[in-house]
Structure 1
Amino acid sequence: MNGPDPGSRHPMDGFPQVCFIRNTITHPNIVVGEYTYYDDPEESEGFERNVLYHFPFIGDRLVIGKFCAIARGAKFIMNGANHKMSGISTYPFQIFGNGWEKVMPEPGDLPYKGDTVIGNDVWIGYDALVMPGVRIGNGAIVSARSVVTSDVPAYTIAAGNPARPVRQRFAPDTVARLESLGWWDWPVETITRHLELIVSADVDALAAVAPKD
């Protein structure tokens, strides 16, 4: 046995509340790694409804790594939510047509923050809100109902509105080692064999069993 089937929508028998969302995504600009799950007792397969204002013509992507845990109600605001702010009115007249399309924004008029990128082994808490273009590093934790408006470094706990770093989970040199080890990219057989170390705090022991290139 080497863990649950990464191709399963509901890896826990009789518990549809948890869904490996990689297997439910239909939007071409949402990319999710294996074993990342969304926990929602009402509609765990409907994760995409929480990715808001994600219009194909804009082209921004939501990228989520492997082994992430995403709690119910976590939402991701994409660049399509932005309005032109350089003029007197921010009202999007142009979307209604009927003569109002004459004020269609020019390229560059609308704020654009780029892709939203979530690393590996990230825990995003209940009702958290992630804004466009944010990058959340590997091993980070976003507390419940936080509003993430700026990048969260790897292995950092962030909380609040706007979210601010609360503390680093490990010392900077340890974070660098963990990033280099990248256990989430190991073969699943190796991960299974060394789970006790992955969930421990013994980085030296984990490094000792890391696959050699």
Structure 2
Amino acid sequence: MEFASDNHGLISIHPSAQVSELADLERSQRSTRIVIGAGCRIDSFVKIKPAGGLGDVRLGERCYLNSGCVLYSGNGIIIGNDVLIAANCTLAPVNHSFRDRNRLIREQGFEPSRGGIVIEDDVWIGANCVLLDGTVLRRGCVLAAGSLVRGELPAYSICCGTPAMPIDARVG
């Protein structure tokens, strides 16, 4: 299924993807694209919102977004294949400016991009994690519940904490 309206953002959903009627994929006012790959499953109460930048949100194949996840487009989110994201995670590839004391924060706009969020193939993100602008989760990474990430985590590592740090490696 693919649709667009009045030069607004495009939402493209592969025919084999399953998107709950209770999920909210919001169309962009600035041409941000949301692309959902083959075999993906988007659970109820997932919100994908174009906000804070011109980046696209792209999910590879066979990804699963569990209930309560919120993804802001910001500077872009690229998710590889076979990625599992547990309940109530937030992906926010955007940062508000706040340095000018003479202006309200809401009037200062956004900081330059730190690269968006990149999640490579075969990653598992536990419940209640927060991923910020500049996050890169390399292939096979496992992120423990409640972790906060801004920066790169190595391939096949098991990571946890605030900020998330590698504590072990997946055995192969």
- Which interval holds the TM-score relative to the shorter structure? 0.5 to 0.7
Q: Distance in 1 between matches of 2:151 and 2:64?
A: 23
Instruction: Report the CA distance between 1:124 and its aligned residue.
Output: 0.2
Q: Distance in 2 between matches of 1:90 and 1:141?
A: 40
The C-alpha deviation readout for 1:149-201, integer Å capped at 9, x for no partner, is: 2211111111011111111224xxxxxxxxxxxxxxxxxxxxxxxxxxxxxx4
Q: Distance in 1 between matches of 2:79 and 2:56?
A: 11
Percentage of matched positions with identical amino acids: 26
Q: Distance in 1 between matches of 2:139 and 2:102?
A: 39
* 1:130 alignment partner, SS class: strand
Per the alignment, residue 147 of structure 1 pairs with 148
Unpaired segments of 5 or more residues in structure 2?
1-13, 20-39
* 1:165 alignment partner, SS class: strand
Look up the equivalent residue of 1:9 and give its one-letter code.
Answer: Q
Q: CA RMSD in A?
A: 3.2
Larger radius of gyration: 1
TM-score, structure 1 as length reference: 0.53
Compared with structure 1, are the counterparts of its residues 76 and 88 closer, same or farther at alpha carbon in structure 2 (3 Å cutoff)?
same
59, 78, 99: which one aligns with 2:93: 78
Greater share of residues in strand? 2
Structure 1 moving runs of 4+ over 6 Å:
none
Q: Distance in 2 between matches of 1:128 and 1:119?
A: 16
Compared with structure 1, are the counterparts of its residues 134 and 93 closer, same or farther at alpha carbon in structure 2 (3 Å cutoff)?
closer
Q: Distance in 2 between matches of 1:120 and 1:90?
A: 42
* 1:51 alignment partner, SS class: strand
Q: Are 1:32 and 2:59 an aligned pair?
A: yes
* 2:159 alignment partner, SS class: strand
Per the alignment, residue 16 of structure 2 pairs with 7
TM-score, structure 2 as length reference: 0.65
